[in-house]
Amino acid sequence: MTEPFWWITKDGDRTCRQLYDRHYSCYHYKDGRRPRKFVGPGEYVALRTADGRALFVWRFFRDDCIDPRTGKRQAGVNCAIFRNEGSCGGKVKSSELVRQADAIADCCWPGQRHYTYVNPERVRSCNPGYCFIVAGWTRCGQTKAGLLIFERVAHDGE
Q: What is the dihedral sign for C-alpha 122, 97, 42, 29?
A: negative
> Within a domain: residue 1?
no
The domain spanning residue 30 has which CATH number? 3.40.630.30
The phi and psi torsions of 84 (rounded to 5 degrees) equal -125, 115
> Within a domain: residue 77?
yes
3-class DSSP assignment, residue 25: coil
Question: Which pTM does this prediction carry?
Answer: 0.88
Spell out the per-residue pLDDT of the chain, length 158, in tens: 578 899 999 998 989 888 888 777 767 778 887 778 888 888 999 999 999 999 999 999 888 888 888 888 888 999 999 999 987 767 889 999 999 999 999 999 999 999 999 989 878 778 899 999 999 999 999 998 999 999 999 865 54
Q: Which domain holds residue 18?
A: 6-152
Strand (E) or helix (H) holding 14: helix 14-21
> Within a domain: residue 125?
yes
- The number of domains in the chain is 1
